[in-house]
Chains A and B, each alone.
Chain A
Amino acid sequence: MRLKFTYRQNKFQFISWLIATPIVFAICKWMLPQLPSSAMAFDGFWVNKVYEKAENDVVFIGDSRVYRGINPHVIDSILDIKSFNFGFSSSGLDTFMLNRGLEKLKPNGKKTIVFGLSVNQFLTWSLANGHYHSLLDLKPSDVFVRKYLYSHLKFADPYGMSDFYYLYKGEKYFETFYPDNGYVASNKLPMDSTAALEAYEKQFAKAEFGEENFKVLLHRIKELQKEGYRFYALRMPCTHAMWQLEDSRFIGQMKKLMSELESNKVRLLDVQGHFTSYDGSHLTAKSADILSGIIANKMR
């Protein structure tokens, strides 16, 4: 549609547009529903986790069950230390991730690594660590923008059509990001403790357990223990149905793995307690605090 305007009209439009746009933006933001989670905070959080030089006494390594399930604030307040949550989405546990986790420890601190274990971490497709590598592939300018600017640009969080659909259905996925310690407090309403089962069942159908990789990892652990590093491990809690699914497919491997860790002086933490999962795999923020308290007391 071609339109023609005079010079004065164009000048008027340009100046008015400069003034009107922030007003229109504010009105739109006021009219739109509040999003339960911030995409800008999400991007900034992950960049901080990878690129922030942190100095900690204890580092928790694992997948999404770890980064949503272990709250370092609780651990720090009980043990009077500085801990860091080094969990990543669908993260595999191998020497590469262990070495990256070690970089987050301070040289003269407690030099402690805690593995939050789940079956998924030892499956061959997880060992590619796609999430972590995608963050390593970011250009320096992208890292800078996400690290320093995104936290101030949360007002510009985008809305997807699915956001409106879920809000209309009454579904909300809450996330609060803690870039200082790598933890994400999360919750989902309404809760459905079987939601993740189908996806895991499909994944497990074509997955293989990376046993060779685990042998290499054990060897590295032994080397580090000689240098004074301490290791703990726990099987991350989830629903009974999820554990049953995992055990039905990989019980032999997980039992063997836990026993080999124990025989190699990795202290296993028995974390019995009443926990709630909002999807069958991940703990609610309240349960994450409970779990963290138990971990801290077991580590005393």
Chain B
Amino acid sequence: MIFNSIPFLIFFAIFFAVWFAVRKKQSIKYIWICLMSFFFYGFWDWRFLFLLIGTGSIDYWCGKKIAEGVHKKAYLYLSVISNLGSLALFKYSGFIAENLDGLLSLLNVQSSFKASIPEFSLVLPLGISFYTFNSLSYTIDLYKDKAKQADSWMHFMAFISFFPHLVAGPIIRAKDILGQLKKNKLVKHVEIWNGIKTCLWGCFQKMVLADNLAVLVNDNFKQISNLNDSLVWWLTMFAFAFQIYFDFNGYSTIARGLAKMCGIHFKLNFNHPYIANSFGDFWSRWHISLSTFFRDYVYIPLGGNRHGKINTEKNRWITMLLSGIWHGAGYTFLFWGALHAFFLSVESALKLKKHLPQVLMKVLVFVGATLAWVLFRAENIQDAISIYQKMFSFQIETPLIEILKSSAIIWLFLGMVLEWMKYPSAIKKIAQNNWIQVLFWSLVLVATILFRGPEQQFIYFQF
């Protein structure tokens, strides 16, 4: 069930009501989290619940062995193989098989790897890209002595399966959450109110901004071959840049709000990425939990930037390509990662941040990220190339007035204001007023109900 649905509201009300009674009793608390989170996950497809429990159990057992200090490396490898193996099977097997068949056909060798893949493995289990990474962070950090062992299997499963982050992140680290789950922290009313406000803001971003922008983006992507106007495509891609931001940030914000209400603190996952003044800065602001995961577990172990320029570039490209392919088993995602690696390399080589004014850098980063989103959104490379050609044809067929009539313009404008506006101190002073706060949050809820767009699935559910 999705967060912005009536069944979820009922689910959370039940969870929260019982949570207050059980939060001080550790073992019951873990059981309650697990039961409800398994129900939450199984609501989508109960068959894959066994995969979640299975891989989680393997990691718990490997973690136990690592903590005991016996054959640590072997158990670490087992955990990595288990997680990446399940990811490879369910997410990448079809892609790998298709490419193998293609490669062999070029050599005039008949093969049917794709056809021989069992049907169940072609279904992508919800959240697999997220919970496998959560799980991996546990065993890797245990191995490096950066985390403490979970108290029990329940404690560990409560961390892995905690429903606010289970299906679309943020990717949480065991060292950050296990301790919080263990504490019998009294959740103050303030935190509940802050949690509610956080959830409201997330819902507004997702249901009003992202879902309304999606209408324009989806309509235009359905007619790529017929739509040739350059301005329309630039507008569409700007709309998508904000759609994906508000969709994903909305989800993460709701997840943070729900966790907050339970007394659990999730770190920020987005920090105004479109005000970044360099591509490096962009990646410290966009999907922070994923970029820090790749930094800590891929980039730094490879050597980071410590072994000369060539190795730095090599490590950067490997990290960005893996980040791209994490998002999806397709060449568009691979090239999306590659394009961002290219931007980072050029920025580093030419020392752009040093030589260009900050405003120009911000524009460059936003436009660069928008161009990269073409690859992210397009179904295939051919469509992406077609869109790039149209964007740079500078062919304008639609009168500007017709473009401005599009209702998405209003949501795009509002999104830009929310992202880019610097609030003067006078506004901060007004916002400090209690009645203004009450009115503001009432309007946010009312606007979310009355101006919500046609329901769209959360974009990152597909990863």
Given contacts A3-B428, A14-B189, contact A165 B405 (CB under 8 A): yes
Q: Mark A4-30, 1 if CB is under 8 A from B, else 0.
A: 010101111110110011011100110
The reply on B445 being an interface residue by CB < 8 A is: yes
- Besides the known contacts A16-B435, A25-B445, 20 further A-B residue pairs in the complex with CB atoms under 8 A apart: A1-B431, A5-B190, A5-B432, A7-B188, A13-B438, A14-B196, A20-B442, A23-B442, A24-B446, A25-B449, A28-B450, A141-B43, A145-B5, A145-B6, A158-B453, A159-B450, A160-B407, A161-B212, A161-B407, A162-B407
Most buried by A among B190, B192, B407: B190
**Interface residues, chain B, with chain A CB atoms under 8 Å away:** 1, 5-7, 43, 188-190, 192-194, 196, 212, 405, 407, 410-411, 423, 427-428, 431-432, 434-435, 437-439, 441-443, 445-446, 449-453
Residues on B with beta carbons closer than 8 Å to the beta carbon of A165: 405, 407
Docked CA distance A23–B138 (Å): 48
Task: Describe A's contact surface by its main secondary structure.
Answer: helix
Partner of B441, one of A11, A17, A161: A17
Residues on A with beta carbons closer than 8 Å to the beta carbon of B451: 158-159
Docked CA distance A295–B441 (Å): 55
Partner of A21, one of B43, B188, B446: B446
CB distance from A139 to the nearest CB of B (A): 8
CB distance from B194 to the nearest CB of A (A): 8
Docked CA distance A149–B188 (Å): 33
- Chain A interface size, under 10 / 10 to 19 / 20 to 34 / 35 or more: 20 to 34
Residues on B with beta carbons closer than 8 Å to the beta carbon of A12: 434
CB distance from B454 to the nearest CB of A (A): 8
CB distance from B209 to the nearest CB of A (A): 12
A32 touches B7 (CB 8 A): no
**Interface residues, chain A, with chain B CB atoms under 8 Å away:** 1, 3, 5, 7, 9-14, 16-17, 20-21, 23-25, 28-29, 32, 141, 145, 149, 156, 158-162, 165
Residues on B with beta carbons closer than 8 Å to the beta carbon of A25: 442, 445-446, 449
For the A-B complex, the count of residue pairs with Cβ-Cβ distances under 8 Å equals: 86
B405 touches A20 (CB 8 A): no
Docked CA distance A31–B352 (Å): 51
29 contacting pairs across A/B (C-beta < 8 A): A3-B428, A3-B431, A3-B432, A3-B437, A5-B432, A7-B190, A10-B189, A10-B190, A10-B193, A11-B193, A13-B193, A13-B434, A16-B435, A20-B439, A23-B442, A24-B442, A25-B442, A28-B450, A29-B450, A32-B450, A141-B5, A145-B5, A145-B7, A149-B6, A156-B449, A158-B450, A158-B452, A159-B450, A162-B407
Docked CA distance A212–B305 (Å): 65
CB distance from A167 to the nearest CB of B (A): 13
